[in-house]
Amino acid sequence: AAKSISAETTLRQNTASARALVEIAGPLCERVAQQLERKRLAGATVVVKLKTADFQILTRHRRLAHPTRRADLLLAAATPLIEKEADGRYFRLVGVGVDSLAAAETADPPDLFGR
């Protein structure tokens, strides 16, 4: 059984821009969401992987209130993790994933106001 689902990409050109890294993370979150949908799973922890220009690997996690399969929620959790690490260093790879996998039925409960 899968323990995590992720997507990553190596950049054509190293970047120090948090904005660029977040923009790249958006489609990765879409890919992860599609895999979750296909496998009928949800993830409760968002994982961001960054590789610096000198090949140092950084991995950061954020636990969600509820498991999700939604790309927008994955990106919302990943964004502050990326922004915190984008401190002037150059990065060559960005990845986004989920772990703490759960059944799809546990994902994205409606809030109190039905939004």
Q: pTM of the full predicted structure?
A: 0.90
* pLDDT for the residue numbered 106: 83
Q: What CA–CA distances, in Å, run from 101 to 59, 70, 106?
A: 18, 14, 10
Bridge partners, 47 (sequence order): 61, 97
Question: b/e for 40-61, b at 16 or more Cβ within 10 A?
Answer: ebbbbbbbbbbbbeeeeeeeee
Instruction: pLDDT tens for the chain, 115 residues: list them.
Output: 789 999 999 999 999 999 999 999 999 999 999 999 999 999 999 999 999 999 999 999 999 999 999 999 999 999 999 999 999 999 999 999 999 999 888 888 776 455 5
Nearest Cα residue to 95 out of 52, 30, 47, 63: 47
Q: Say if residues 42 and 69 touch (Cβ distance below 8 Å).
A: yes
Determine the length of the chain: 115
Q: Which structure tokens are listed for 60? A: 């950061």
* pLDDT for the residue numbered 111: 63
